[in-house]
């Protein structure tokens, strides 16, 4: 005799099959992103390079723009990770995420004189490397005054090495007057998904 399959059991099996298919397809997508994170890579024309430098000057200031003028070629690298890299003489110096352009952590050292430095205590470092924003109580000092919305480099208090790039959520005066709340939004840090790609492009 044949056993009649319960409708509930059959639906469970079919649902399980669909879930497995979705899981496998998502796995293949993730695998492609990991193995081939770069969509396109091409050298900018003189016109586009000039336009980029004007944006850099507007967003990051004259000092950053002047540091970049010594490079002869600029490449634009579009990724599957929702950000764009700009390579200057094959060095991944700048990163674009949405309408923001900022230095990569890998080469942030060269911009230490051009951008404000935010010095944090060593206890805050692991949290920031895990993706947390910079909280006002953890900030020891800043190298220069800055306004809300400014791009800053976050450094540890011992070695003063940049390990995070962020945007100010409040001005420097307010950080020290209030001493509470989120002060710097974490845009890019050591060991994030961008960092891994930077090491491969270096």
Please name the fold of domain 38-108: Nuclear Transport Factor 2; Chain: A, (3.10.450)
Position 200 scores a pLDDT of 84
What string of H, E and C letters represents the secondary structure of the chain?
A: CCCCCCHHHHHHHHHHHHHHHHHHHHHHHHHHHHHCCEEEEEECCHHHHHHHHHHHHHHHCHHHHHHHCCCCCEEEEEECCCCEEEEECCEEEEEEECCEEEECHHHHHHHCCCCCEEEECCCCHHHHHCCCCEEHHHEEEECCCCCCCCEEEEEECCCCCEEEEEEECCCHHHHHHHCCCEEEEEEEECCCHHHHHHHHHC
Over its length of 202 residues, how does the chain's per-residue pLDDT go in tens digits? 444 445 445 444 444 544 545 444 434 444 444 568 999 999 999 999 999 999 999 999 999 999 999 999 999 999 999 999 999 999 999 999 999 999 999 999 999 999 999 999 999 999 999 999 999 999 999 999 999 999 999 999 999 999 999 999 999 999 999 999 999 999 999 999 899 899 888 6
Please name the fold of domain 109-194: 2.30.130
**Domain positions in the chain:** 38-108, 109-194
pTM over 0.75: yes
Position 10 scores a pLDDT of 43
Position 78 scores a pLDDT of 96
């Amino acid at each position: 005799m044949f056993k009649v399959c319960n409708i509930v059991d059959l639906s469970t099996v079919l649902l399980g099959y669909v879930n497995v298919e979705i899981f496998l397809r998502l796995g293949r997508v993730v695998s492609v992103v990991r193995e081939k994170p770069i969509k396109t890579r091409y050298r900018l024309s003189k016109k586009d390079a000039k336009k980029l430098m004007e944006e850099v000057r507007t967003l990051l200031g004259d000092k950053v723009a002047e540091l970049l003028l010594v490079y002869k070629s600029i490449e634009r690298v579009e990724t599957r990770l929702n950000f764009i890299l700009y390579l200057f003489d094959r060095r991944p110096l700048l990163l674009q995420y949405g309408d923001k352009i900022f230095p990569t952590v890998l080469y942030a050292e060269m911009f230490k004189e051009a951008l404000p430095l935010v010095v944090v205590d060593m206890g805050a470092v692991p949290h920031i490397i895990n993706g947390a924003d910079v909280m006002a109580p953890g900030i020891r000092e800043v190298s220069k005054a800055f306004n809300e919305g400014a791009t800053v480099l976050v450094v540890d208090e011992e070695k003063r090495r940049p390990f995070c790039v962020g945007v100010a959520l409040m001005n420097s005066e307010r950080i020290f007057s209030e001493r509470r709340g989120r002060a710097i939004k974490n845009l890019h840090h050591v060991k994030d998904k961008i960092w891994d790609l930077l090491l491969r492009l270096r």
